[in-house]
Each structure stands twice: as structure tokens, then as C-alpha cells.
């Protein structure tokens, strides 16, 4: 295809198609609406279904139904829509549903600024529904990464039977960049494990807590059960505390156990640097400029960009902190991910937030000024 001039939302649609997404449902919402438009064009062309739902509760509901019936499903929205997704995200967790959820973040809370960017849904994504079970969330910084991480999100969803978030923002979603999607290296496609037609089937079978149960499509050879209530491995309702705990341990372990395996980070380390900038999303592009300029002035500074936000890429962060005395964490929110860095940083390491939530981007100069790099 060569180089194209694409917006992030289109790259997400293309990444989904590359992952053979064949079901999409969404509801109009700025700045995510064009994903709905692209998917309405692309998905039917491969024999799949794309639907404009009547609201966000329906959007994710459609996707859960389709995913459990065997399709690779995605939905896309922004903050107000994620708020309405909340209960069904819990259903996707308790029912172990592979599903990709795109959040093109805008300034919140509530309607906020519909056409203005923000990255204020970081901890909201982590604690998005009742129960507090772990989630997987990826955060692209460029149009090319929006394509790549959406593709990878499908792989993670299928592999771990879990909802997976792609956390982008208005700035990435509706900004165009030149990009050659074919030049982006992608891992092999992952399809969900399915139980053979003649095999015995339990909807949530596992031996060890971190095992990921094989699936059987609704309407297939088995009597598939799916429930929003606490249940056992057979998806029969249960009130037995020991069984309920066993299931909770399973939902938790299957994500936590692989946290470091699914950690995607970009490292730009400088030898003997004592300052580290940890960033993600659109702000990481300002961080890259801040690092370049600071180095040009003779400062020694390293950079760690997180593409996996949840689960926390703990090992990668701890390794990056080695020898570091000051960590700068720029965020388009009031310091949400800084909480994770403060939790991990050894005693004596200063963690400095560069925070702004007024719909404008954080500039390299602001990072340098607040971070003490000037």
C-alpha cells in the first residue's frame, strides 16, 4: 500500500481488520465517531457485521453477544460512553469474553469538552467496573501505533479471554500522519482456543488459576452457558464462598501472571542518567522532544514510554529506575499514573508530576521546566 495519510481512528479500524475483526458495534460520540464510520464500510466488505447501536449499553452488549457466538468484536467510544459500558465490562470480565474496547479520550468528566483532548481516563480504565478485577489496556502514541496496538489488542483479548482497552485520545484519533501500515511488524495472529466438538466442555474450565479456558461458540456443538452472576467453572450459579473465591483468583491470576509478558514499552536510555521521564500516549511525543533538547544542552536523561498501561509493566519500570534519582511523569490529567510510579520507586527517588488538564497538550518546555531540566 505504501505511505498513506491517515488519522488515528482509521488506523484503529485498519488494525482491527488486520486482526480479522468481523463484528463492530458503536454509537455516535465525538471524537470516536469516525471509527464507527470506517467499520461500517470495512466490516461488511469481509462478510462481517457492523451496527450503529441505539446507545452505548447496547453497543457493548452487541459485542458481548457476538463475541460469545464466535466473532472477533470491537466497540469504540469516548469517556461518557465508557461510563455507560461499565456494567457490561464487568459482564465481559466475569464471563471471560474476548473483546476490544477503544476509548478515544476527551476532556471529562461527563460531557466535558467533546472536541478537546485529554488523557484523563487512565485510572478509570483500571477500575472501570465493580469488583476491581485487573484489566489490559494499551496506549498508542502515534497513528502507526494505533494500528499496531489495536491488532495486538485482539490477540490479547483472544489469548486471555478478556476485554482489552485501546486507550487513545482526540489528538491521536483525529490527527492525520503519514504512515506505511504494511511496514509495521506484527506478531502472528492469535485465535481463541476452542473445545473440540466431541470433547467435554465447561465454559470456565481451568486446572491452575492462571489457565485460560477454551471456548465453545454459542450455537455450536455444546450447551454453552454465560452468566452475569457469580458462577462455577460450569457457569452454574453458585453461592459457595470457596468456589466464588476460586473464580475470582482465576480472573485475577490469568491477567496478573502474564503482566510482564504483555508489557510493551519503548526505551531510550542514556548511560549514567539520573533523570528518567516515564510517559505514555500523546504526551510521550512531547517527552521525546524534551529528552532530545535536554541532551543537546548536555543533560543526561533517559526515557521510558509505556504502551501497556494495565497491567502495570512493573518489571520494565523497575529496571528503568535502576540508578535513577528523579522521575518525571508528564500526564494530561492530575497525576493518575504517577501513583503507580510512586508505588514502585525506591525510597529516595523523587517522583515529579507534570500535570495539566485544560484540553491543551503538555509541551516539551513544560516538561523541562517543571521537571527541572532547564
Partner 1 sequence: MTTATTDQAMLCDGILRPGNTNCAGCGMSLGHQWLEQGLEGAKLTLCIPACCGIVAAGAFPTSAYGVPTIACTFASAAAVASGVAAVRQLNHEDDLTVCWTGDGGTYDIGIATLSAAAERNEDLIYICYDNEIYGNTGGQRSSATPQWVKTSTTVEGKAEPKKDIMAIMAAHRIPYAATLSLAHRDDFLRKIRTAQKTRGFRFLLMLSPCPTGWKSEAADSVDLVDTAVRCGLFPLYEVFDGRRYRINARPDGTPLENYISRQRRYRSETLDLDAMKREVDAQWAYLNTVARTFPAREGE
> 28 or 196: whose CB is closer to partner 1?
28
List 117's β-bridge partners, or say none.
Answer: 106
Strand pairing of 275-280 and 308-310? unpaired
> 38 or 251: whose CB is closer to partner 1?
38
> 56 or 121: whose CB is closer to partner 1?
56
> 16 or 255: whose CB is closer to partner 1?
16
Rounded CA-CA distance 155/191 in Å is: 7
Rounded CA-CA distance 151/12 in Å is: 8
Instruction: Tell me how far, at minimum, the Cβ of 8 lies from partner 1, in Å.
Output: 16
Rounded CA-CA distance 167/123 in Å is: 11
Contact criterion met (CB below 8 Å) for 353 and 338: yes
Rounded CA-CA distance 290/275 in Å is: 12
> What residue has cell string 512531547?
286
For residue 195, give Cα distances in angstroms to 137, 204, 248, 328, 341: 27, 11, 23, 48, 41
> 77 or 216: whose CB is closer to partner 1?
77
Instruction: Tell me how far, at minimum, the Cβ of 235 lies from partner 1, in Å.
Output: 28
SS3 label, residue 207: coil
> 22 or 56: whose CB is closer to partner 1?
56
List 77's β-bridge partners, or say none.
Answer: 103
- For 130, left (φ over 0), alpha (ψ -120 to 50), or beta? beta
Q: What is the dihedral of CA 101, 104, 106, 110, to 10 degrees?
A: -20
Q: Which residues bind partner 1 (CB under 8 A)?
A: 27-30, 33-34, 36-37, 40-41, 52, 54-56, 80, 84, 110-111
> 84 or 365: whose CB is closer to partner 1?
84
Contact criterion met (CB below 8 Å) for 293 and 346: no
Cell of residue 22, nine digits: 468481523
Amino acid at each position: 500500500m505504501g505511505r498513506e495519510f491517515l488519522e488515528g481512528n482509521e488506523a484503529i479500524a485498519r488494525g482491527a481488520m488486520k486482526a480479522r475483526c468481523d463484528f463492530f458495534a458503536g454509537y455516535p460520540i465525538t471524537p470516536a465517531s469516525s471509527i464507527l464510520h470506517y467499520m461500517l464500510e470495512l466490516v461488511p466488505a469481509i462478510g462481517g457485521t457492523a451496527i450503529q447501536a441505539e446507545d452505548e449499553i447496547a453497543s457493548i452488549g452487541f459485542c458481548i453477544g457476538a463475541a460469545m457466538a464466535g466473532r472477533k468484536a470491537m466497540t469504540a467510544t469516548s469517556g461518557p460512553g465508557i461510563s455507560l459500558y461499565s456494567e457490561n465490562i464487568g459482564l465481559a470480565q466475569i464471563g471471560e469474553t474476548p473483546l476490544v474496547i477503544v476509548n478515544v479520550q476527551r476532556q471529562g468528566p461527563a460531557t466535558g469538552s467533546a472536541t478537546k483532548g485529554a488523557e484523563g481516563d487512565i485510572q478509570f480504565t483500571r477500575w472501570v467496573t465493580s469488583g476491581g478485577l485487573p484489566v489490559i489496556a494499551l496506549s498508542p502514541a502515534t497513528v502507526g501505533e494505533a494500528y499496531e496496538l489495536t491488532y495486538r489488542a485482539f490477540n490479547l483479548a483472544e489469548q486471555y479471554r478478556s476485554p482489552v482497552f485501546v486507550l487513545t485520545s482526540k489528538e491521536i484519533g483525529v490527527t492525520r500522519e503519514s504512515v506505511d501500515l504494511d511496514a509495521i511488524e506484527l506478531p502472528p495472529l492469535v485465535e481463541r482456543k476452542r473445545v473440540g466438538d466431541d470433547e467435554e466442555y465447561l465454559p470456565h474450565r481451568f486446572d491452575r488459576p492462571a489457565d485460560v479456558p477454551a471456548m465453545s461458540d454459542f450455537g455450536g456443538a455444546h450447551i454453552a452457558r454465560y452468566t452475569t452472576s457469580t458462577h462455577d467453572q460450569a457457569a452454574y450459579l453458585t453461592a459457595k464462598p470457596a468456589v466464588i473465591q476460586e473464580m475470582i483468583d482465576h480472573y485475577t491470576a490469568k491477567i496478573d501472571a502474564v503482566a510482564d509478558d504483555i508489557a510493551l514499552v519503548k526505551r531510550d536510555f542514556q548511560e549514567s542518567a539520573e533523570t528518567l521521564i516515564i510517559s505514555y500516549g500523546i504526551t510521550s511525543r512531547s517527552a521525546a522532544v524534551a529528552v532530545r533538547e535536554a541532551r543537546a544542552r548536555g543533560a543526561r536523561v533517559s526515557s521510558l514510554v509505556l504502551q501497556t498501561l494495565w497491567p502495570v509493566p512493573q518489571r520494565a519500570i523497575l529496571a528503568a529506575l535502576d540508578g535513577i534519582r528523579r522521575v518525571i511523569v508528564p500526564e494530561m490529567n492530575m497525576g493518575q499514573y504517577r501513583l503507580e510510579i510512586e508505588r514502585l520507586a525506591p525510597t529516595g527517588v523523587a517522583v515529579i508530576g507534570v500535570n495539566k488538564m485544560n484540553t491543551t497538550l503538555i509541551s516539551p518546555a513544560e516538561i523541562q521546566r517543571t521537571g527541572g531540566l532547564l
